[in-house]
Structure 1
Amino acid sequence: MPGIGAAERDRRLYEPIARDALPELNIRLLESFLAVAAAGDITRAATLLHLTRQTLSAQIRQLERTLGAVLLVRGSHGTQLTDAGRELATGAQALVDGWVELAERVNRVAGQRINRLRVVCCPCRTTPFLIRVADGLEAAVPGLQVDLVSVRTMPEGVRALESGRADAGFGWLPLDGTRLRHTVIGSEPWVATVSRDHRFAEHDALVLAELAADPVVLPAIFVSDSVERGWVGTLRPDRALRDPAVLDVEDGPIIAARRQGIWLAPESMARRHADSGSRVLPVADAPPIDAVVMWTDRAPKALVDELVSTVQGVAA
């Protein structure tokens, strides 16, 4: 520092300034907090993040200590954000996304090739399938790292893709209202999951008209409200749009097993969630639904093609 004495230079170097007081944030802690904020429940968020509840709770406490603020209030009705938590949730996603984008730009400028594919998924009981896909893809492309980006619903997955947090993912048609590209990887029938003591349990198959008198729930696999309404109108033509409710994937099988309603879902999803207390029945006159791999324009096309090939091999 030319033009000043040694004492003044030392004072300026070591004198605290306002920015020095800013907390040193850990991006991973912010991602964990955002998962809890979106899920509304620490246990559910821990499952999505593949963490134990204790580990996730410890991460949230560490973030609260770093910021000097209580972010969550845990009660009998789940986890609620405090005012400070809502303020953090408002800006944290942009901060995380910006950091990821900046890190990738720095890597590119440094001449380093990031051989990575970030794949959106709803884990739940699809975890074995996802692991086989990720392992198969990494085996097919030496040096590739597959990162699974957990979401709860299709709209969350679309947001992750369109915001740049992920490159590709799995979904269901139609993708109306999105900017995503896609390849169909299979066409599936809708099936009904009922409890073993339901009046339909001994049937070999059902038709939509038989379901009219029962509460029905659908999984949250639709990319938008308009797509949801379209499928509701197809599967429940004689009922108001408020019925069925569209719920998280894991809620439907529980409702069916507890005899609170019928769960309608694509066959592969329903059978992955089936247990000994339920029966899965074909719905003969429901039109099929197409499963897809979807991706953004920014995704590396060669890796997307390899992902499609791997998924088809695992599903075969």
Structure 2
Amino acid sequence: MSDPAERLPDRRPRSVLPELNIRQLESFRAVAEEGSITRAAARLHTTQQTLSAQIKQLERALGVILLVRDSRGVSLTAAGEIFADGAKTMVAGLMELSVRLNTVAGQSINQLRVVCCPRSTASFLIRIADRLEAADPGLRVVLVSVRSMPESLRELESGRADAGLMWLPLGGNCLRYSIIGQDSWVAVLARDHRLAGRERLPLADLAAENLVLPAIFLSDPAERYWAAALRPTAGHPEPTVLDTADGPIIAARRQGIWLAPESLGRRYADPATSVVPITDAPPIDAVVVWTARASEPLITELIRAAVAESSAALATEPYERH
């Protein structure tokens, strides 16, 4: 079978890269990392048609095929593998160059890029972004979509994002953080579960149950810490850690009990479930995290907005046990 690149009509070698733009590079990088046009389009807040058109334009400009599309998604060709590695370096370099040039010119880039997981932090961060931009019309808050906490860390470490919202402990990394509040833990269970009518639950009462935690932890040590901290009693299996979207479904389907920080559990609990506070689980700290490159004045404003929005949410959305 011939190399996919040979299918292009113009096979003249390129001695230098043609004119590219950062949008094309970011689009291709997202598709390469997601392995799917659909997921990449959701991550970039664009349509699949627009994203596909950008990739085709990029392939024509480079003179090579970068992606092979099939029923399972997309895979990289040999040329795609090389370009994906180079695109990541180019985007980071362009961003660093922009910062340096603006610094020399005595200007600042009034932009804050915040990692955002649509299933757990999106609604809260949208309100924070609105609050920040309303206070400073010259500020642009960019929400960088991710699917998991490890992906959040990759975006921060690569320089593609400046800050984010997470829970402690963070594990071994160089992120800076500030605590913006504490969450207690709740049990989300089917309305007809034998424990659903209780006002509060100690962990010991959950010893015989199948327990599930949301995948909100930044590292394996953090995951192990909370799995052990929320284990009802010694000798019983530790809670299973699954995608945040799975917990409410498991609870509603009577397949287990979902344990979650109160803000998360209250937001995602299904109407067919009850939310009951756990009396003796240690609280979990919610934090704003940021990198050493981030603008300290903007981070200060982000922390203030997060604390204010958290207080407003507690005042306007009081806890209700279903």
TM-score range, shorter chain: 0.7 to 0.9
Q: Which of the residues 158, 169, 172 maps onto 2:167? A: 172
Equivalents in 1 of 2:90, 2:20: separation in Å? 11
Could you tell me whether the CA contact under 8 Å between 2:249 and 2:270 is conserved in 1?
Answer: no
Equivalents in 2 of 1:206, 1:92: separation in Å? 51
Supply the AA of the counterpart residue of 1:204: E
Q: Which residue of 2 aligns with 1:81?
A: 75
Could you tell me whether the CA contact under 8 Å between 1:193 and 1:280 is conserved in 2?
Answer: yes
Could you tell me whether the CA contact under 8 Å between 2:65 and 2:77 is conserved in 1?
Answer: no
Could you tell me whether the CA contact under 8 Å between 1:218 and 1:265 is conserved in 2?
Answer: yes
Q: Which residue of 2 aligns with 1:34?
A: 29
Paired residues for 1:78-157 under 5 Å: 78-84=72-78, 85-124=80-119, 126-157=121-152
Q: Which of the residues 153, 157, 165 maps onto 1:158? A: 153
Q: Which residue of 1 aligns with 2:206?
A: 211
Equivalents in 1 of 2:59, 2:192: separation in Å? 48
Q: Which residue of 2 aligns with 1:191?
A: 186
Q: Which residue of 1 aligns with 2:215?
A: 220
Equivalents in 2 of 1:46, 1:310: separation in Å? 29
Equivalents in 1 of 2:255, 2:104: separation in Å? 57
Q: Which residue of 1 aligns with 2:263?
A: 268
Q: CA deviation at 1:118?
A: 1.4
Is 1:19 paired with 2:15?
yes
Q: CA deviation at 1:143?
A: 1.5
Supply the AA of the counterpart residue of 2:65: A
Query: Mind listing any 5+ residue stretches in structure 2 that lack a counterpart?
Result: 1-11, 312-322
Supply the AA of the counterpart residue of 1:274: A
Could you tell me whether the CA contact under 8 Å between 2:213 and 2:260 is conserved in 1?
Answer: yes
Q: Which residue of 2 aligns with 1:307?
A: 302
Identity %: 57
How many pairs were matched up? Answer: 296
Q: Which stretches of structure 1, 4 residues or more, deviate above 6 A after TM superposition?
A: none
Could you tell me whether the CA contact under 8 Å between 1:48 and 1:123 is conserved in 2?
Answer: no
CA 1:216–1:107 in 2, change beyond 3 Å: closer, same or farther?
same
Could you tell me whether the CA contact under 8 Å between 1:48 and 1:124 is conserved in 2?
Answer: no
CA 1:28–1:215 in 2, change beyond 3 Å: closer, same or farther?
farther
CA deviations 1:71-116 (Å, max 9, x no partner) are 25343xx535244455544443223222221222233334432112
Name whichever of 42-51 and 151-160 sits farther off: 42-51
Query: Mind listing any 5+ residue stretches in structure 1 that lack a counterpart?
Result: 1-15
Q: TM-score, normalised by structure 2?
A: 0.79
Equivalents in 2 of 1:239, 1:306: separation in Å? 45
Q: Which residue of 2 aligns with 1:230?
A: 225
Q: CA deviation at 1:63?
A: 4.2
Q: Which residue of 2 aligns with 1:287?
A: 282
RMSD: 2.8
Q: TM-score, normalised by structure 1?
A: 0.81
Could you tell me whether the CA contact under 8 Å between 2:29 and 2:88 is conserved in 1?
Answer: yes
CA 1:251–1:73 in 2, change beyond 3 Å: closer, same or farther?
farther
Supply the AA of the counterpart residue of 2:67: L
Q: CA deviation at 1:131?
A: 1.9
CA deviations 1:199-227 (Å, max 9, x no partner) are 44333333323334443332222121111
Supply the AA of the counterpart residue of 2:112: L
Q: Which residue of 1 aligns with 2:196?
A: 201
Equivalents in 1 of 2:60, 2:248: separation in Å? 39
Q: CA deviation at 1:151?
A: 1.6
